[in-house]
Amino acid sequence: MHVIKILFMILICASIASCDLDDPESLAQKEIRDILYEISLDFNLGDVVGIMDHVHQNYLHQGEITWQLNNEILDRMGRFQLLEIEVLYIEINGSYAVAHTIDHYSSSIENVSYEEPEYSGYFSYFYRENGSWLIYGNQSWSPERKSRVASQ
């Protein structure tokens, strides 16, 4: 009798856990969280190519295109050794998504945190193409930059 109760509980737990995977929005959020985690790992390993593998070929963000994003990443890698991306929430709208994060950069001499996408938003805007989420930028030619910074 106890075996039947245990099996029943396992089935209930499995069905509850699988509900999140069936929800397309939850699945999309998980995929984007995984990408942001991979970006932080690549940053910490100094792998710019790994980061750029997650960037759409038509990336455009505040007037900047992919090579400018590449240069920004290199500049930040020269200034900081570690990046931790804290995901607050992710908005999904069809094939588009916006990740709201706090990006914590640190080195032996300084720690800086940026609220994204409010500060720069380089890694905040996503587009789903051919079944994959890619960093897409906000698709704006406007070079206006906001300056909300939260320092530690």
Task: Enter the pTM of the model.
Answer: 0.79
Q: At what angle do helices 24-45 and 66-79 cross, to 10 degrees?
A: 60
As a whole number of angstroms, the distance between CA 117 and CA 67 comes to 20
Share of the chain above pLDDT 90, in %: 76
CB burial string 50-85: b at 16+ within 10 A, e below: ebbebbbeebbbbebebeebbeebeeebeebeebeb
Query: In which band, very low, low, confident or very high, does the pLDDT at 141 lie, cut at 50, 70 and 90?
Result: confident
Summarize the confidence of residues 136-149 as an average pLDDT: 69
Averaged pLDDT, 53-79: 97
Assigned fold of 24-151: Nuclear Transport Factor 2; Chain: A, (3.10.450)
Longest CA pairwise span in the chain (Å): 68
Please state, rounded to an integer, the average pLDDT across all residues of the chain. 87
In the DSSP assignment, the letter for residue 108 is: S
Residues in Cβ contact with 34 at an 8 Å cutoff, skipping those fewer than 6 apart? none
Q: Which two tokens stand for residue 84?
A: 């931790």
Residues 76, 106: contact at Cβ < 8 Å?
no
Short-list 94, 117, 109, CA closest to 152: 109
Give the pLDDT band of residue 71 (cuts 50, 70, 90). very high
- Beta-bridge mates of residue 132: 129
CA distance 121 to 74: 16
Is pLDDT at 131 greater than 60 in this prediction?
yes
pLDDT for residue 146: 46
Give the angle 28-33-39 at the CA atoms, nearest 5°.
130
